[in-house]
Amino acid sequence: MKKKLREFIFEELVFIAEPKKFSDDDDLLEAGLDSMGIMRLIMFIEDNYNITLPDTEIEPDNVQSFNALEQWILKHK
């Protein structure tokens, strides 16, 4: 799951020089994930994992890192 998320985020949403050095706990928001990127990410997740992520749960704690994203997705599977 994280591999697929990493590929999408680093190819489409956040551009950093060395994505391999970005850990699963590093801050995606500080790296450049913005509100438009978050919306694209949510659509990607919903399409690829066949889930619905509630609008009420779109908050920094759920999208801040790969570990947070994984927990949010698993909560709704």
pLDDT tens sequence across 3-30? 999 999 999 999 998 999 999 999 999 9
Per-residue pLDDT, 40: 97
Output the six-digit token pair for 31. 């790296």
Q: How confident is the model at residue 37 (pLDDT cuts 50, 70, 90)?
A: very high
Per-residue pLDDT, 72: 96
Confidence (pTM): 0.91
HSE, CB side, 13 Å, CA atoms: give it for residue 69. 26
Per-residue pLDDT, 61: 94
Per-domain residue ranges of the chain: 2-75
Per-residue pLDDT, 51: 95
Where helices occur in the chain by DSSP H, the ranges are 2-8, 28-31, 35-49, 60-63, 66-75
CATH number of 2-75: 1.10.1200.10
